[in-house]
């Protein structure tokens, strides 16, 4: 069963000292949903962020309690995701980019 973007638990409520593995940033919610569906992996989730005035829809492999755990998860990502260069980012930075969407 594929996970809808609307069914994702709130990333805003997670501890800011956690780390996220971001796989890709796309220009539309439809593109992000198509990407998640195409991967046929229930573990992917997404978020809407604003960076330098532009809106992006990002696919996340997951959120982890430490940078090391995030790096290990990125290294162990499924073969179908190996072609994507993961971006390890703090939840604080992701949450700030998410808040910028509603603040604008």
68: CB partners within 8 A, 6+ apart:
none
Considering only CA atoms, which of 22, 23, 15 is closest in space to residue 65?
A: 15
Domain ranges (residues) in the chain: 5-103
Separation CA 21–CA 26 (nearest Å): 15
Whole-structure pTM value:
0.83
pLDDT tens-digit map of 18-71: 999 999 999 999 998 888 888 877 767 889 999 999 999 999 999 999 999 999
- The reply to whether CATH 3.30.70.1070 applies to domain 5-103 is yes
Instruction: Let me know: does 57 contact 29? Beta carbons within 8 Å.
Output: yes
């Amino acid at each position: 069963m594929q996970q809808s973007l609307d069914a994702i638990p709130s990333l805003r409520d997670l501890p800011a000292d956690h780390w996220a593995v971001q796989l890709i940033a796309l220009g539309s919610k439809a593109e992000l949903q198509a990407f998640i569906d195409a991967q046929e992996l229930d573990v992917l989730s997404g978020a809407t962020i604003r960076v330098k005035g532009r809106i992006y829809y990002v696919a996340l492999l997951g959120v982890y309690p430490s940078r090391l755990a995030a790096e290990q998860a990125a290294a162990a990502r499924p073969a179908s995701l190996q072609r994507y260069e993961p971006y390890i980012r703090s939840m604080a930075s992701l949450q700030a980019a998410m808040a910028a969407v509603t603040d604008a």
